[in-house]
Amino acid sequence: MDATLRKLLVSVAVLVPTLCLGLTRNATASALCDPLQPTTCTIGELADQLGIRFGSTLEDFEITDSNYTTVLLREFTAVTPENSLKWYTNQPSRGQWEFGAGDAVVNFAVESGLEIRGHVPVWSQDTYTPGWVKNITDPVDLLDVTIEHVTKVMTRYADRIDRWDVVNEPLLTFGTSQSASVYWTLGEDWIGDVFRLARTLDPDAELWINEFGSDWVPGKHEAFLALVTRLVESGVPIDGVGVQTHRLPGAVLDQDLFESQLRDFTALNLEVAVTELDVPVVPGDPNAFSRQAEEYRKVVAACLAVAGCTEITIWGITDSDTWLDRLGYFATPTRPLLFDDDFAEKPAYTSIRNLLAETLADRRLPETGSNPVAMIGLAIVLIAIGGSIQRRFSRRVTGSSAR
C-alpha cells in the first residue's frame, strides 16, 4: 500500500471516532491525537481509543499538588485510591470511622470524569489489617465485623465507584496456599460471602478479586487460578481478576507466558486487568531505563493481545511517589514509574505510548487492498459520515437546528 494513502486512511479512521465523541472529557485533546505521530497523543487517549482504561493511583494530599493532578488528568482515565479506602485508614479502631481522605479522592475523581477502582474493602493480609481486627478470636464476631465494615464503606460510595477490588491478596504473599490472615479461620467461604454482600450493596459496580505476585511467584498463578475457578463455579459474583504485576528489579518478563496467564482468567468469562504495575530498576545499572522500558512494553503488549484485558493501572506517577522506596523492600532509589521526580517522561513512557499508537494505527487501518481509487473513496465516505455524526451530536447538545 502507498505510504501516503495509508497515512491518509489512518488519519481519517482516527478522525471519525473523534468526531463521534462530541464534547467528552478528552474531545479537545483527542482531536489533536494522530497515532502516526505519537507525540501528539497521551497514553490515556491512545488506550481509551483501544478500549482500555489507563490508570494511576491518587492520594488525598496529592489533589493539592497541581503538578501531580495536571499529569494525572492529561495522561490517565482512571484512578485507584492507593490507601484512602483501605481498612486501616477508614476504621483504624473499632467504630472509629474516618472517611475524609476517601471522600476527597472519590469526589475529585468523580468531578474530573475519572473512573474509580475502589481499593479495597477487605485485604486478606494481617500485615495490613488493623490490630483490633487481627485480635478477634471469635469467628462469628470476625464475620460480623467484616460485614459491618464492607457495608459501611461500600454503601457510602455506592454509584460513584465503577469497580471494587472486593478482596485483595487472598493467598500468601510469597506462597500458593491460603493467606495466614485471621480471615482464613473462617475457611474459604468468607470470600463468597463478601462478594455476595458486595453485589447487593452496589449492584451496578463491577466486583473484582486482586492478587500479588501471580506473575512471578512460582506456582502462585496456578493457585490463584484454581481459587478463582472454584469461586466462579460455586456462583460467586466475580466480574474481574486483577493481576497486580509489581515486578522485581532486573527481572525479565516472559511475555508469552504472561499473556497466557491473562487468558486463563478470560477463559472463565471474566475481565482481567493489570492493576498495580511498576518496574523497579537495579541502582547503578547503566541500561536501567532502557531495560525498564522494554519490560513495560511487554506487559502492555500482553494486555493488548488479550481481548478481555480491559485496564492497565500504574502504581503511581513519579518515581518520588513510589511505595517501594517508602517501605524499603529493594535497594533505593527504585525509580519504577513512568515519570521522573520532575514529572519528565521516561523511556518507559515513550515505549508505552509508541506501542499504543502502533496498535491503534494497525487496528484502525481499513482493509481496502491496494486499489487507490477504493482507498480514496473510502476516505471520502468516512469524512462525510463523521461530519454528519458531528452535526447531529451538536444539534442534540446545543438544541441548534443549523445545517
Q: Checking phi first, is residue 95 left (phi over 0); if not, alpha (psi -120 to 50) or beta?
A: left
152 in any annotated domain: yes
- Cell numbers of 249, please? 528489579
- Please give the pLDDT value at position 374: 52
**Cell 465503577 identifies what position?**
162
20 in any annotated domain: no
Selected residue with higher pLDDT from 175 and 28: 175
- Please give the pLDDT value at position 186: 86
329 in any annotated domain: yes
Please compute the mean of the pLDDT values over residues 358-370 and round it to a whole number: 73
- All residues at 6 or more sequence positions from 151 whose CB lies less than 8 Å from its CB, including other chains: 197, 201
Selected residue with higher pLDDT from 168 and 9: 168
Rounded to whole angstroms, what are the CA distances from 156 to 26, 63, 92, 94?
29, 21, 17, 18
Helix (H) or strand (E) holding 167: strand 163-168
213 in any annotated domain: yes
17 in any annotated domain: no
69 in any annotated domain: yes
**Cell 484512578 identifies what position?**
79
Omega before 333 cis (within 30°)?
yes
Number of domain units in the chain: 1
- % of the chain surpassing 90 pLDDT: 74
* 160 neighbors 118 (Cβ within 8 angstroms): no
pLDDT tens, position by position, 102-145: 999 999 999 999 999 999 999 988 778 899 998 998 999 999 99
Longest Cα pair distance anywhere in the chain, in angstroms? Answer: 77
Q: Which domain holds residue 79?
A: 41-365
Model confidence band, residue 78 (pLDDT cutoffs 50, 70, 90): very high
- Please give the pLDDT value at position 1: 52
* 395 neighbors 29 (Cβ within 8 angstroms): no
**Cell 522485581 identifies what position?**
248
* 211 neighbors 166 (Cβ within 8 angstroms): no
List residues bridging with 34 in a β-sheet.
37
18 in any annotated domain: no
How far is the first Cα of the chain from the last one, in angstroms, to the nearest whole number?
A: 37
List the CATH number of the domain containing 91: 3.20.20.80
398 in any annotated domain: no
Q: Which ranges of 189-287 would DSSP assign to H, the alpha helix?
A: 189-201, 220-233, 255-266
Residue 262 has pLDDT above 50, yes or no: yes
Rounded to whole angstroms, what are the CA distances from 173 to 88, 168, 240?
19, 11, 20
Question: Global pTM?
Answer: 0.85
Active site residues: 169, 276
Supply the DSSP string of 293-340, one letter for each residue. Answer: HHHHHHHHHHHHTSTTEEEEEES-SBGGG-HHHHHT-SSS----SSB-
- Please give the pLDDT value at position 175: 76
